[in-house]
Structure 1
């Protein structure tokens, strides 16, 4: 105990010191960020200073250019010369402008003056001294801009770059109305260099590609750059296309940087002092603020591990911030786990589509009602009801319309029944209703009321749906005294009502002889089992981590002598009822092992999953039978996987606790099939040796359109992973569902988006050619 206390104390001291070091590191980072921010503010201020000076320079040049334009416009012969395009006269006008500027000692020195007509076509040009230029005007791009604007009603100015020289150019209208234009071109280089003397800071001019145009002799050398602040401003200038001249100025910031360094050192010193004080105080309060609270959390965790009923119980502790946060997170975690388990309980008892009790909860309430009726010597009624023409609606209008129809039916039924009554969805379009403390007369009245309630058409989107209803009624104790008998006889009465078209019917013993189709099918099934008229199809299961097939599931079909290929829903319930399913299971195991051996002979080591029925779980010699089959085929238990439905677990819970661990110990991998449709207690999930759960296809089908289904899938995945189980999603029929499951960390998927069920030969070809391929760890294993 002393060692544990010392270890905890030592860990806390190390943690506190590490947190202090982290805090100092954060202070250093903050100081660095502050320094960079301050430097950037200084640089931004210097950039703004450059921008203002450049704008002032341009404004000054614009004003001076206007003065030159006014000088030209005042010439008495200008208008006539423009009208006649007299180049010689206009040349004299321009020479006069040069003289005017020289006499007034103008602050700008034009290097070129040009005159254009009203369409901005050149007429005359002059250089200083009255010489006509021997080339086109500089900054021709500005003339092009004026032409595109169909003239310049006011001053239009800009910069251009010619032979590494920067020029300012302005185009101004002459006369009222405009009879022509004057272009003034000024060498901007001198104005930019003058900024150096005006600011006292060295100047550098360059192109954006780094080509140097000018660099002050006072520009700092590279060794001095660490204490120098350089600010750059991009000045528009045109060559053949738009470009920029970078105007850069440098300022010595040695004193500013020294001040920042002193501030940083002071902050670090204060932070270190505070950290030392914090460590001393923390060590003094360690026992009270850390060890005791952590011990309380550990004790609560031990209680939760022993008994899940302690989930959600809060642990109130006081201590340092880390311990309090840990306790808060621990309490939130146990609360969320409590909610997770509560959601699982709700999922197990509620139909996700209609929010009615499901088959499991209904059977539980039926048994409770039987027990109460037996104690109080009272009767009750059980209704089994299904919808006529529901399959036609599903096939014609789609499952989404069928789902909404079932929801509306559920709402109407709930609205007409008493609070003490129970209405449940048994599956598909079948509902069950339990009416406590009623006799035959009351049951007849209730059935008529429900038929009348459902007779009104259902309005779904643009569809006005009229569905019929058939209700079968069994009374306790007249028609049975146990749940199985009552349910079976209410079902018989329902089929009798459907065949007679009378809406509802009470059970009559004579009804059991009025099912020649079922009796004939039972006889044919006996012959089918004897003659092995069944065939196995195999559907691949892909692991999302590798996108490769990891196993396949064997699916049985009946090749009826009529040529029809029957699905299990048609014949498995009858086989279960007669006990013939045990013979079918033996045949499936034999065929599966034979196929597995054939695959391995081809180097394709793929486990094959088979389904166990309730009757299989009732067989005390099932494990020995599997051992014999393995010996006959010289096979390993790893060749096949065993899938058990939730309903089978519920029906044979005691037997499962004995049988499944034996099968697991033999080496079989066991999965829960159709997870979410029945009731798997948390105790069974933890006690039984399950390797994975298979989420039922009904939830996957609604994954993208039903938030409840999405929640059920997400909760199932989280619960399985928390218990160390893998998750296989059944019924993945499109890429969107696959993508959503991948995002939810689902382990494996199965459905027609991967592959339809395949015969053995088709499976071999698929494994060889499919892009899903074969999981690399399965190839060559035995």
Structure 2
């Protein structure tokens, strides 16, 4: 026997199912956005760690070269090498373990070796507490690479990161003598000592592990329980990329961010439930047979939203001559608009730096990829700036992290006032189409920023903007009643002149930035001679 129900019952059942669908959609969407935010946070940390590790490895190589150069100019060492006096060479090498770089814990020196021009071992000296168990070259591949060189190539300094007895070591090979090398000096250090200061620069605890899991170093601030926190892992490979040398882990306390996400999620669910309850009450009170068709339209729209939540802000335009029907449609559009605004806030949180409120690396990457796609079939060009704030570490060390944050925000504000940046509202999602014709200022992390200038007409236009940015940054900033003068180091790469891919542009802009920093320039355009 067929089951017959009233229109009122049908309406109640329909609105109940629609309400469950809307709540399920809100729950699923907020969970997805939460995961996206955490994933972007983790990836941003990994990218930042990679940059800091690269800087520290460069510093380690420079310190090792300085130690080797000081030894090369030593009269005692040169006489011992010229006389082929292995005993005197050993004594000269042993003396280096008492030099400033070693005693001040700037680097952990493990071994020094002197080779003949034919790479025959002449003398060596190791630290008293070294973990090296066997004499001789620590990174044989470095010596083999040096042996294969000919002519002027033999005068170049070589450096490598390798594993020896399952432990990482950094080795630098310097030529001794003039144009015709009279030998070679190998400086072997343990990199963990030089890498540990990244915890102060990141403001987060770190720990280093070997590939087999053995713990080499752990920050005193490393928590016993990591509940409510985010752990980002970065693997540092050997120079030949044949194996991993270190696993570097960084812990970020994300409990406050997670609580904010949960509060936003609860607000969405509560708002959805309240609006659906109001719609149901209005529908039950003002029941009419003519409501069935509008409810079918409403249900159809919700089904579309379930398949594509980007349609959430699209209102229902169907109207009726009955006031009650129009009220129901208006209430639903109100609910959809509120949810759309809340999703826009979540999306903005995922693509915005919480300190400076500038776009972050995630939006930066998406914007670059968007421009590459849009400009691929045209003659349009765009410029990419990588910017480093040179005095940030000094301000952090002298005045504290709060002062460092003030400095970052002030510099970000000054650059933002110069550029044609888009306005990002709290209740609207970020559309690449909407910002396509604007300059984009991004904080990549730490003291690094990036700028994208779309549709540039000439390099002179780029040059003028770079000058304005560096000039604005040099104006004194008052911190704790003390004027502080900062400067920017800017590396510039042009699409498609320097590269037609995001990775290539970033690499070339990075090279140009370090060229500007090393040569005390405000900014520098990339050119092929830098590589």
Q: TM-score, normalised by structure 1?
A: 0.33
Q: Which has the higher contact order (CA 8 A, sep 6+)?
A: 2
Per the normalisation by structure 2, the TM-score is: 0.46
